[in-house]
Structure 1
Amino acid sequence: MADIPEIDLTDPEVVGDPFTAYGRARERSPIARVLTPGLPPLWTLTRHEGARAMLADARFAITSGSFLRPDVPEDCLPYMRTMSEMDGPEHLRLRRLVAPAFTARRAETLRPAIERVVERLLDELPGHAGDGVVDLLRHFATPLPMEVICELVGVPEEDRPRWREFGTLVAAGAGPGFAAAIPGIMAGAREAVARRRAAPPTGDAPSDLLADLIRAQAEDGDRLSDTELVTLVWHLVLAGQTPANLIANAVHVLLSEPAQLRALRADPGLMPRAVEELTRWCGPILLTVPRYASEDVELYGAAIRAGDAVTASVAAANRDPRVFEDPDRLDVTRAREATHLGFAHGAHFCLGASLARVETGVALSALLRRLPELAAGPEGARRAPDPGTWRLTSLPVTL
C-alpha cells in the first residue's frame, strides 16, 4: 500500500483534536503509522473491523519486554511485570483468579456501596467550592474510583489514605510523579497483603478479592506466588482508576451538549445507553496498549515485520461510519448498534469494564439529580496535552 497516512504525536492538532486527526487517517486507509520522536513508528489500525480483529489475533502479543520502565529501585522490579504485560496460559491463569470479582453481577452488588461513596462526595463538594466554583475532577471524579476499588479489593481502611494519594498520581498520567511514587506503591501493596493476611474477614463479613487471593494461595501455593499476589494488588487498585477520566470527560461533554443533557435529565432510564455512548464518543483511551507481531504479517497491503508494534486507534474505530450511524454526533438515546472498543477487545478486554459502567452511571445519575443547576465554571476545563489519553487536568463547575 503506497498511501499510508502518518500521524505525528507531536503535532498540536493531533494532540488537541485526536478524533479529527485519526478520523482523517481512517478515511484514507484502514492502517496508519504513528510517529513519536525517539521511537520506531507504530502501526495503528484505524477502522473498527480491523482494530477488533487485531486485538483478538494471537499473532499480535503483549510481551514482557515491550514497555519502557521508569527508573525504580532494584527491589521493585519483580513487581513491575503486571497481568497486562502477559499473554497465553500465564495471563489466563491470573485473569481467572481475579475475574470473579469483576463480573457484571458482582459490579451490581457493589452499587449500594458506590452510591454511598457518591453521595458522601457530593455532600462534601460545597466545602471545596470557592465563590461557588469547584473542581469536579479533583473532588469527585478522581477520589470515587479509588474508594470503590479499595472496597472491592479489600484494602484495609488504615491503608486507604496512601492509596488515595496514589490514585491522584495515576489520574494525572504516568509521569515523573508516578515513577517517584512506585516504591511507595509497592510497599503499600505489600502492607495491604500483610494486613489482610493477619486479619481476614470473619463471621458474616463479606469476603473481598484480597482475602480470596490469599485463600487461593494458601490452598494451592503453586497457582499464585507472593510476588504475583503483591503485583496483582497494586495493579488492580491503580488500574481501577480509569473511570475518573471517563466520568470527567462525560460531565464536560454533557455540559457542552445541552440537548443531550436535557434528554438525560428528562429520562434517567437512558443512563445505561448514555454510559455506552459517552464511552464510545469521549472515552479516555485513544490508542490501545501496543501488541507485537510474532511473525511477518500483511495487513491491508502493509508489510508488518516480526517484532513490529501494532495498536488500535480507539479514537478512530469508535467513530467509524462503517459501523456507527452518524458517528461524530453524540446521542444518549442511541441504540447499541455495535460494540465500541472503549474497553478494548479480546483476551485483554478491560477486566473492570462492568465496574466502570456502574460507577459512571451512578456518578452521572447522582450529579444530575442532586445538582440541577450544574454548569461549566467561568474559567473552563483544562485538558492534558497527552497523545495517548483523552483526559482533563481540571473541571471547574458551578453548583
Structure 2
Amino acid sequence: MVAVPELELSDPEVLRDPIAAYGDARERGPLVRLRTPGFGAIVAATRYEEAKALLVDPRFERSADSYLRPDVPEHCLKYMRTMQEMEGPEHLRLRRLVSPSFTARRAQEFRPRIACIVDRLLDELPAADPVDLLPHFARPLLMDVICELVGIPAEDRAAWRTYGAAIASGRPREFAEAIPDIMRDAEAAVGRREREPGADLLSELIGFQLSETELVTFVWHLVLAGQTPTNLVTNAVEALLRHPGQLAAVRAEPGLMPRAVEELTRWCGPQLLSVVRFAREEVEIGGMPVGKGEAVTAALAAANRDPRVFSDPLRLDVRRDEVAHLGYGHGPHFCLGAALARVQTEVALTALLSRFPDLTLVDAPRVPDPGTWRLASLVVSRTR
C-alpha cells in the first residue's frame, strides 16, 4: 500500500489558504495525514467519494475525544455531551425525537420570523459608512434566531449575543468563561417554558420525552453548532461581492437564491473539516491504510471541489445544479439544522442585497484557521 502523504497545519501557507492546501493534497492521493503541534496526527479523506463513504462508515465513530473540552465547572459538564458525540441507539433516539422540529417545511414556516429579525438588524446598522457586517449583522443574527427559536425574552437577548460572540471568538479562555452563564440561562429558559409553554421549540420539545438535562444540552448544542450560519453569511457576502457577474445574476433573478446558497455552501462553506472520528479497526480507504484507533476526518473543502465530481469546481456558479455537496456532512450525523441554516442564509442575503443595491467590499481579512473558513471582519460600504 502507498504511504499516506502529510500536511503540516501550522505551515503559514496552509493557514493562509487551507482550501488550496487541502485541494493540493487531494491531487496527491485520497488521504492525507494532517499534523498540528499539540494535537497529534489526523488522517483526512480528501476526495468526494472517499469522504462521503467515511461519513457513513460504522467502522469510524465519534467520542468525547472528538472534541476539545474547555476547563469549566463540574456542574456544566453534564450539559456538554451533545448528540454530535453520540453513536448508535443513543444518538438515534435523540435524533428521532428532535428531527420533526427541523424539517425543511418547519424551516420555511419559521422564515417570516427570521425575516423580521433580519429587517430589524438592517434597520439598526450604524449610520456611519463603511460598516462591519460581522458584529453588526451576521453574528447577532445567529443568536437572535436561536433566541427566537427557543423563546428567550427580548430583554435577555443582549446577554445571549455576548455569549455567541464569546463562543465564536476562538479564544479558549473567553469560550470557557462564557459556558457557566450559558448553562445557567439555558436552565432558566427550560424552567420558564416548563411553567409557561409558548410557540417555540423548547415548549415543543418539553413534550417529547426529553429530560431537563437533555433540553439544556440541546440549547447548548444550538449555540455551539449555530455558529455555522454566521460564517456562511459573511463568506457568501464576500464571495458575491468579489464575483460581480454572480452577484448580478442573483440580483436579476431572485428565484436563484436557494440554488445560489447551495453553491456558496459548496464553494465557501465554513466547515473545512468534519468532526473527528476514530477507527474501530484497521481500515483501507482508497487503497490506503488507516490503523485501529487512528483519528480520521473528511476534508470537506477538498471534497466539495473535487474535479472527479464537480465540473470546473474552482468556479463559483450560482446556477450550478450538480450532485449534493458535503457542506452539511452526510449520513447519520448530517447537520440537524441544515434546513434552518439554508433559510436563514437565503433571507439574510436577499434582504441585504435588496436593501443596499450599491454594496461594495472594503475589507475582509480572514482568521488563520485550518478547520473553519471564517472572516475576522467584513467591512462594506453601502454607497458608491
Both structures adopt the same fold (TM-score exceeding 0.5)? yes
Query: Residue 299 of structure 1 aligns with which residue?
Result: 285
For residues 13-48 of structure 1, give each alpha carbon's deviation from its aligned partner in whole angstroms, at most 9, with x where no partner exists: 111111211111111101110001122210000000
Q: Number of aligned pairs?
A: 382
Q: Distance in 2 between matches of 1:238 and 1:302?
A: 34
CA contact (8 A) 1:171 1:245 kept: no
CA contact (8 A) 1:383 1:394 kept: yes
Q: What amino acid does structure 1 have at the position aligned with 2:32?
A: A
* Candidates 357, 365, 373, aligned match of 1:372: 357
Query: Residue 244 of structure 2 aligns with which residue?
Result: 258
For residues 26-82 of structure 1, give each alpha carbon's deviation from its aligned partner in whole angstroms, at most 9, with x where no partner exists: 111011100011222100000000000000111111113433311111111111211
Query: Residue 178 of structure 1 aligns with which residue?
Result: 175
* Candidates 336, 351, 361, aligned match of 1:351: 336
Bigger mean CA deviation after superposition, 160-169 or 177-186: 160-169
Query: Residue 204 of structure 1 aligns with which residue?
Result: none
Query: Residue 266 of structure 2 aligns with which residue?
Result: 280
Q: Alignment partner of 1:28: what SS?
A: coil
Q: What amino acid does structure 2 have at the position aligned with 1:311?
A: T
Query: Residue 186 of structure 2 aligns with which residue?
Result: 189
CA contact (8 A) 2:80 2:220 kept: no
Instruction: Structure 1: give runs of 5+ residues left out of the alignment.
Output: 202-206, 218-223
CA contact (8 A) 1:98 1:209 kept: no
For residues 76-100 of structure 1, give each alpha carbon's deviation from its aligned partner in whole angstroms, at most 9, with x where no partner exists: 1111211111011111111112111
Q: CA deviation at 1:129?
A: 4.1
Matches within 5 A, 1:1-399: 1-125=1-125, 128-130=126-128, 132-173=129-170, 175-201=172-198, 207-217=199-209, 224-335=210-321, 337-377=322-362, 380-399=363-382
Q: Distance in 1 between matches of 2:57 and 2:281?
A: 12
Q: CA deviation at 1:175?
A: 2.7
CA contact (8 A) 2:130 2:381 kept: yes
Q: Distance in 1 between matches of 2:98 and 2:156?
A: 21
CA contact (8 A) 2:31 2:44 kept: yes
The two structures have a TM-score, normalised by structure 2, of 0.96
CA contact (8 A) 2:138 2:234 kept: yes
CA contact (8 A) 1:159 1:192 kept: no
| Structure 1 runs (4+) greater than 3 angstroms displaced | 156-159
Give the direction of change, closer, same or farther, for the CA distance of 1:40–1:173 in structure 2 (3 Å limit): same
CA contact (8 A) 1:246 1:284 kept: yes
For residues 239-286 of structure 1, give each alpha carbon's deviation from its aligned partner in whole angstroms, at most 9, with x where no partner exists: 223111000000011111111111111111111111000000000000
For residues 175-211 of structure 1, give each alpha carbon's deviation from its aligned partner in whole angstroms, at most 9, with x where no partner exists: 321111111111111111111112112xxxxx32211
Give the direction of change, closer, same or farther, for the CA distance of 1:242–1:362 in structure 2 (3 Å limit): same
CA contact (8 A) 1:101 1:152 kept: no
Q: Distance in 1 between matches of 2:223 and 2:190?
A: 13
CA RMSD across the alignment: 1.4
Instruction: Structure 2: give runs of 5+ residues left out of the alignment.
Output: none
Q: Distance in 1 between matches of 2:68 and 2:222?
A: 20
Q: Alignment partner of 1:382: what SS?
A: coil
Q: Alignment partner of 2:296: what SS?
A: strand
Q: Alignment partner of 1:121: what SS?
A: helix
Query: Residue 220 of structure 1 aligns with which residue?
Result: none
The two structures have a TM-score, normalised by structure 1, of 0.93
Q: Alignment partner of 1:35: what SS?
A: strand
